[in-house]
Amino acid sequence: MRIWDELWAGRWERRATARSGPAAPRAAGRLCRAYRRRTYPFVGALVRVMCRAVDERAAGRARAALEQAWDGEPSARGAIWYAIERMGDLPYPAALFLTAPVRDSRFVPAVRLVGALSGGRHDDGLLGADHIVEAARSASDPRTRRAVQDVLRVTDHPALLDAMTRLFTWSLRSRQQGGDGVLWDREGRPTVLTHLLLENPHAYRPPQPYEADPDAEPAVLAILKGRPDAVAHHDARRLVPVLLSVLERRLPAAVSEPCRRVLRDLPPGPAREVLCRHAMDGDATARAIAADAGLRPADGKRLPLFLFCTEQWEAYDRIDPRGAKLRAYRRSYGDADWERLTEVAERTGRACPPRPRPARTSSRRTAPTFRPGGTGTAGTGGFSVHGV
C-alpha cells in the first residue's frame, strides 16, 4: 500500500507542478482529497506543489490544504516541516507559509515558524533552528532571506537565539579572520548575522545556572551591543583569554577596541588577576594593556614579581631598586613564578635572587619513649613490653 501511495502521489504531483490550465488545479485537488485519508506520502507532495507549481491555482490549493492541516492537526506539523527541510534551499513559498501569523505562539513574533518551535533551550522541537538561521544567511531567493531575517531580528525564542549565538561563538573560535565571512566580510563590514545579533534586543542572554561550563564568547556579543557590564556574568578564567584572542586577530576596530577598553577598565577582582597572570606569562597583548592602564595584582607581595616578569623596569626600579622586596617575598613564590623569574633574568641580564633551598627534614630515628615503672616484668628496665 505504501509503495502504491508513493507512485500515485508522484503521478498527481507531476501533473500539478508541470502543467498550467485546468489540469493543474484538478491534480492538486486530487492530492488534497487523498491527504484527508492518509498523511504519508501526500504531505511531501503538497509541499512541493505549493513551492514548485507553475499554475498559481494549484499552488494555492496545496497551500490551503497545508494551512488547514497545520492549524487543525498539530501532529501534521512535523511532517510538513520535514518535507520543507528535505527541499534543502528554503523556497520563498515555504518561507511565506512559515512566517504567516498564528495565535498559539508563546514567543515573538507570532508566526508559524516560531509557534512550532519548542520552548526548551536544548530542543529545537519540530523545526531545525540552525536550518532557519542558515536560510536567513544564504537562501538563494532574496525574498526568502528577507522574510526569515525579519523573524530573527525580533524573536525571543531560545532555540533561534541559541542557534545564532552558536554560530557567533564558532566564528570567534575559528582561526580564519572573522570565521571566513560569517561575522565580517573581507572589508571588515558586518555580515547579515552580525546585524541580526546586534539589532535583536534579546540576542544576548547571561549564562544560566544549569550550564556547567558556559562559553565566554557571548560576552563579546554583549560588549558589541554596548553592555560591557555583562562580562561580570562570565568566568574570568575563560573570559580574559577570549578577549585577548579577539585583540590578537585582525578584526575590525569596531570589534577590537571595545574589547580592549573592557580589559583596560577591569576592576579589582578575578578577571584582573587573570589578566596580570597572562601578562607575567609573556602574553604581549596582556603586557601592553597592563602597562598602559597601570593594572597591578591585588597582593602587594607579588607587585615586585609582577613588574619584574612583565619587564616594567622603570616602575620596578622605583619601588625596589636593590631587589630587597623581591628577596624578602621569595619564599611565597611558586614553581611557575620561579620559572618566569629565571627566564626573564637570563634573557634581559637583570639580577634576580636565588631560589631558597627547601627546609631540611631530620632523618634520625626517635629514641623509644621511657615510662617509669614499666609492666613489672623482670628485665625490662622500665620499658613497656607488649604482646608477651
Q: Phi-psi bin for 297: left (phi > 0), alpha (psi -120 to 50), beta?
A: beta
pLDDT band at 1 (very low <50, low <70, confident <90, very high): very low
- The mean-pLDDT minimum among 72-81, 173-182, 188-197 falls in 173-182
For the chain, give the mean pLDDT. 85
Q: What is the mean pLDDT of residues 228-256?
A: 91
Answer whether 80's CB lies under 8 Å from 70's CB: yes
Instruction: State the CB neighbour count (10 A cutoff) for residue 37.
Output: 8
pLDDT band at 388 (very low <50, low <70, confident <90, very high): very low
pLDDT band at 380 (very low <50, low <70, confident <90, very high): low
Distance CA 233, CA 160 (A): 22
Assess whether pLDDT exceeds 90 at residue 193: yes
Assess whether pLDDT exceeds 70 at residue 280: yes
What length is written for the chain?
A: 388
pLDDT band at 188 (very low <50, low <70, confident <90, very high): confident
pLDDT band at 40 (very low <50, low <70, confident <90, very high): low
pLDDT given at position 22: 83
Calculate the dihedral angle through the C-alpha atoms of 5, 6, 8, 9, rounding to the nearest 10 degrees: 110
Distance CA 372, CA 72 (A): 98
Model pLDDT for residues 311-368, shown as the tens digit of each residue:
999 999 999 998 999 999 988 999 999 999 999 999 999 988 888 877 665 555 555 5
Q: Is the pTM of this model over 0.85?
A: no
Distance CA 341, CA 355 (A): 10
Backbone angles phi, psi at 184, to 5 degrees: -140, 145
Model pLDDT for residues 53-88, shown as the tens digit of each residue:
999 999 999 999 999 988 888 778 888 888 898 888
Backbone angles phi, psi at 225, to 5 degrees: -85, 10
Assess whether pLDDT exceeds 50 at residue 119: no
Q: Which residue has the higher pLDDT, 276 or 85?
A: 276
- Helices then strands, each counted (H, E), the chain: 21, 0
pLDDT band at 161 (very low <50, low <70, confident <90, very high): very high
Assess whether pLDDT exceeds 90 at residue 33: no
Distance CA 369, CA 76 (A): 88
- The mean-pLDDT minimum among 176-185, 272-281, 342-351, 353-362 falls in 176-185
Calculate the dihedral angle through the C-alpha atoms of 199, 156, 108, 39, rounding to the nearest 10 degrees: 120
Task: Tell me the CB-side half-sphere exposure of residue 349, using CA atoms within 13 A.
Answer: 0
Q: What is the mean pLDDT of residues 207-216?
A: 82
Distance CA 190, CA 151 (A): 19
pLDDT band at 290 (very low <50, low <70, confident <90, very high): very high
Assess whether pLDDT exceeds 80 at residue 223: yes
Q: What percent of the chain has pLDDT over 70?
A: 84
pLDDT band at 306 (very low <50, low <70, confident <90, very high): very high
Assess whether pLDDT exceeds 90 at residue 120: no
- The mean-pLDDT minimum among 16-20, 94-98, 360-364, 380-384 falls in 380-384
Q: What is the mean pLDDT of residues 106-110?
A: 93
Q: What percent of the chain has pLDDT over 90?
A: 54
pLDDT given at position 301: 92
pLDDT given at position 364: 56
Name 111's bridge partners. 101
- The mean-pLDDT minimum among 94-98, 180-184, 307-311 falls in 180-184
pLDDT band at 247 (very low <50, low <70, confident <90, very high): very high
Helices 270-280, 284-293: crossing angle, 10 deg rounding: 120
Question: Which has the closest alpha carbon to 141: 188, 204, 93, 206?
Answer: 93
pLDDT given at position 282: 93
Name 101's bridge partners. 111
Model pLDDT for residues 248-268, shown as the tens digit of each residue:
988 889 999 999 999 999 999
